[in-house]
Amino acid sequence: MKIISKIISFIFPITCSCCGKDLSASYGGRICPDCLLALPKIEGFICKKCGFPLKDGGEHCRKCLKKPFEITADAMRSVYLYKDGARKLILKFKYSDKLFLAKDLGAQMADKFKELPFYEETDCLIPIPLNIIRRIKRGYNQAELLSREISKLSGKPVFSKILYRKKMTKPQFKLSKEERFNNLKNSFFVKNEPQIHKKTVLLIDDIITTGATISACASALKKHGAKKVYALSFARD
């Protein structure tokens, strides 16, 4: 089997999705150790509410102090900053059909999840849903793929048939922060409500930017009985 594996690796070499360096067939991942270490990890002081890094310390960022009720999730956390290698990985995963990256990205998220204070109280994982047109065009929901990987490593179940988008919205990247929140108001609905009644939910997404999508989802879930709603993403813009 080792000989066959070596032959396959020679003909179809596995390379690091960040730097392109060849990886051995036995390595098991798609991001080399050097690139993993170089990813811009979020460390040190962060806003207790939205998880944004705070250079000068404190408990909350200016945005959460100014509008304390804008973020309706109980807390948002991310593993990396959306730049350099982390940005490259998300773009490949999201737009270049590199679905195998779900395993690597999900593993990093699972490790972070286990360190968070709400790990033990979390009852289930819910991926942020795509609208039906985008889902068809892309062929998959990257948040759902990440949720499945995190579930394998954490033991928390994935509820993927709970949260849905009920209307088409403008692409978020074209809008200002205020427009993003308005764009997503009342755009999600909940099915199978008893499954989340008095449950603590962890929303999963690949990237958090303003928190508008997370907040719209959290509002819908809490309206239909969720006890608490947290959020975790691979990267934070």
Please report, for the domain that includes residue 51, its CATH number: 3.40.50.2020
Same-domain status, 125 and 205 = yes
Copy the structure tokens of residue 158: 């994935």
The per-residue pLDDT for 133 is 84
The mean pLDDT of the chain is 90
Same-domain status, 125 and 164 = yes
Same-domain status, 115 and 11 = no
Rounded CA separation 224/183 (Å): 21
pLDDT band at 181 (very low <50, low <70, confident <90, very high): low
The DSSP code for 96 is S
Same-domain status, 86 and 11 = no
Same-domain status, 6 and 93 = no
Same-domain status, 16 and 58 = no
Q: Which of 34, 33, 32 is nearest to 17 (CA)?
A: 32
Work out how many domains the chain is built from and give that number.
2
pLDDT digits (tens, 9 = 90+) for 52-83: 999 988 999 999 999 999 999 999 999 999 99
> How many of the other CB atoms lie within 10 Å of CB of 19?
13
Rounded CA separation 26/9 (Å): 10
Same-domain status, 67 and 173 = yes
The per-residue pLDDT for 1 is 47
> How many of the other CB atoms lie within 10 Å of CB of 1?
5
Same-domain status, 18 and 47 = no
pLDDT(6) > 70: no
Same-domain status, 101 and 194 = yes
Sheet strands (E) in 133-212: 163-165, 188-190, 200-208
Classify each residue of 153-192 as buried b or exposed e, where b means 16 or more C-beta atoms within 10 Å of its C-beta.
ebebebbeebbebeeebeeeeebeeeebbebbeebbebee
Same-domain status, 81 and 138 = yes
pLDDT band at 234 (very low <50, low <70, confident <90, very high): very high
Name the residue range of residue 6's domain. Answer: 1-38
Compute the Cα dihedral for 84, 94, 110, 187 and give only its sign.
positive
> How many of the other CB atoms lie within 10 Å of CB of 64?
19
